[in-house]
Amino acid sequence: APPAPVPVVTPLPTAPPPARDSQACAVVAALPEPALLLSAAGNIITANQRVALALGPTRVGDPLSFVVRVPEVLDAVRAAAADGVPRRVEFAERIPLDRWLEAHVVPLRLHVSPERAPDAVLLTFRDLTQQRRVEQMRADFVANASHELRTPLASLSGFIETLQGPARNDTPARERFLAIMAAQARRMSRLIDDLLSLSRIELNAHVQPQTKVDLGAIIAHVCDTLSPLARDRGVELEQVRETADLEILGDRDELIRLFENLVENALKYGAAGKKVEVRLARENGTAVVSVRDFGPGISPEHLPRLTERFYRVDVAASRDQGGTGLGLAIVKHIVARHRGRLGVESELGNGAIFSVRMEALPNPEKNL
Ligand code: ADP
């Protein structure tokens, strides 16, 4: 049989690519942000690799509108190429992710020519999402903190007015109001204490503590301090020590604060279970302290948010217990400063286990 004819491939005619200037391309490739160099007509001369990650694939010669579909950016590129004036455009995208971006549009004259008009446009993008989130968090935090302080303050002012006016000569009412006022003042001072601790711990976040501390002694101290609260709530507070010596590098005061917060929460929110267990163990090279209660537990949708500032499962229940909503945020920061990990396991109706894992110092007995 005659050999099959070999197909002849003729390249399709393509439009000549826009003038590529290798120096300009190298500079664009080296820019730390997504950057595209465009011809004055708005076609892609070159794009760096970050463009592919941030916006999608690009092809030399394609119009910009193939990769960027934001009308404000396209208009800014057109306008800059026409009048030679740089522009900055901020825009938000919803899909595929919520993000805020900023585009800088800078007209250039790459080639010396008698014409004054720009022959290229440099387009760079900056992702503002992280910055926006931080700004939002800061604003939310100030709003939350003021709100938390304003409530007891409003109650105090209300009682002061009542005592100056209608209840001026009513002795029993005065005694009752003063007791409430004292409780509100305590609440405000607890909140301020918690806010100050939080900012102090955050300030030191990058300095890992270097003092040798005995975790067993800290847990014993915390359980002693909280035994009156346990008695008050009718809860048995039990310490389970699976290991004799457990030392870590830590900050004693912060660790006391950390375990006080966890045990106090278990006593407050898990009182119905009548028992709280504080367990101390060594798992390979890790010190594990877990605080377990047998109370109502926490439903799964709340678990990821528990350590957010001012997040509470039940705001009224937390306030009744004198909670500020900052306890677990403080816990999270202390654990982070100790380069440890915080874990929460809980099921509705089956109590909760909060566990802290930190690197243990080698056991001295093993070295004998
Ligand atoms: P609070 O000052 O309100 O106690 P925390 O940050 O310590 O603030 O705790 C946040 C919320 O987590 C509490 O309001 C409570 O709803 C929930 N929580 C914490 N520990 C427990 C627990 N052991 N059992 C059930 N809910 C808990």
Per-residue pLDDT reduced to its tens digit, 130-153: 999 999 988 999 999 999 999 899
Distances (CA, A) of 46 to 32, 358, 363: 15, 50, 60
Nearest Cα neighbor of 162 from 64, 320, 170, 357 is 170
Ligand 1 atom nearest to 321, measured from its CA: 4
In CATH terms, the fold of domain 208-368 is Heat Shock Protein 90 (3.30.565)
- With the most atoms of ligand 1 within 8 angstroms of its CB, the residue from 192, 313, 315, 353 to mutate is 313
In this predicted model, what pLDDT tens digit does every residue of 275-292 receive, in sequence order? 999 999 999 999 999 999
CB-based contact 104:88 (threshold 8 Å) = yes
Q: CATH: 3.90.79.10, 3.20.20.140, 1.10.287.130, 3.40.50.40. Which one for 130-203?
A: 1.10.287.130
What distance in angstroms lies between residue 128's CA and the mean position of ligand 1's atoms? 33
pLDDT above 90: residue 270: yes
pLDDT above 60: residue 16: no
Distances (CA, A) of 281 to 263, 285, 286, 365: 17, 10, 8, 16
Decide whether 130-203 matches 208-368 in CATH topology.
no
**Of all protein residues, whose CA lies closest to atom 16 belonging to ligand 1?**
313
Find out whether the beta carbon of 298 lies less than 6 Å from any atom of ligand 1.
yes
Find out whether the beta carbon of 295 lies less than 6 Å from any atom of ligand 1.
yes
pTM passes above 0.95: no
* Range with the largest mean pLDDT of 16-25, 83-92, 112-121: 83-92
In CATH terms, the fold of domain 19-127 is Beta-Lactamase (3.30.450)
- Where are the chain's structural domains? 19-127, 130-203, 208-368
pLDDT above 70: residue 17: no
And the tokens for 62?
Answer: 């394609």
Find out whether the beta carbon of 324 lies less than 6 Å from any atom of ligand 1.
yes
Find out whether the beta carbon of 273 lies less than 6 Å from any atom of ligand 1.
no
- The arithmetic mean of pLDDT across residues 282-305, rounded, is 95
Which is it for strands 275-283 and 286-293: parallel, antiparallel or unpaired? Answer: antiparallel
Sheet-wide strand order for 120-127: 44-47, 35-39, 120-127, 99-108, 87-93
pLDDT above 90: residue 273: yes
pLDDT above 70: residue 10: no
In this predicted model, what pLDDT tens digit does every residue of 160-214 receive, in sequence order? 999 999 888 999 999 999 999 999 999 999 999 999 999 999 899 899 999 999 9
At 210, which amino acid appears?
Q
Listed in sequence order, the residues at least 6 apart from 140 whose beta carbon sits closer than 8 Å to its beta carbon are none
pLDDT above 80: residue 73: yes
- The arithmetic mean of pLDDT across residues 62-84, rounded, is 94
What distance in angstroms lies between residue 174's CA and the mean position of ligand 1's atoms? 33
Nearest Cα neighbor of 274 from 319, 231, 224, 240 is 231
- Residue 121 exposed, middle or buried by CB count within 10 Å (0-12, 13-18, 19+): buried
Find out whether the beta carbon of 293 lies less than 6 Å from any atom of ligand 1.
yes
- The arithmetic mean of pLDDT across residues 103-123, rounded, is 87
Q: Look at 111-115, 217-221, 226-230 and tell me which has the smallest mean pLDDT.
A: 111-115
pLDDT above 50: residue 233: yes
Q: Read off the pLDDT band of 9 (50, 70, 90).
A: low
How far is Cα 358 from Cα 216, in angstroms, rounded to an integer?
13
CB-based contact 264:229 (threshold 8 Å) = yes
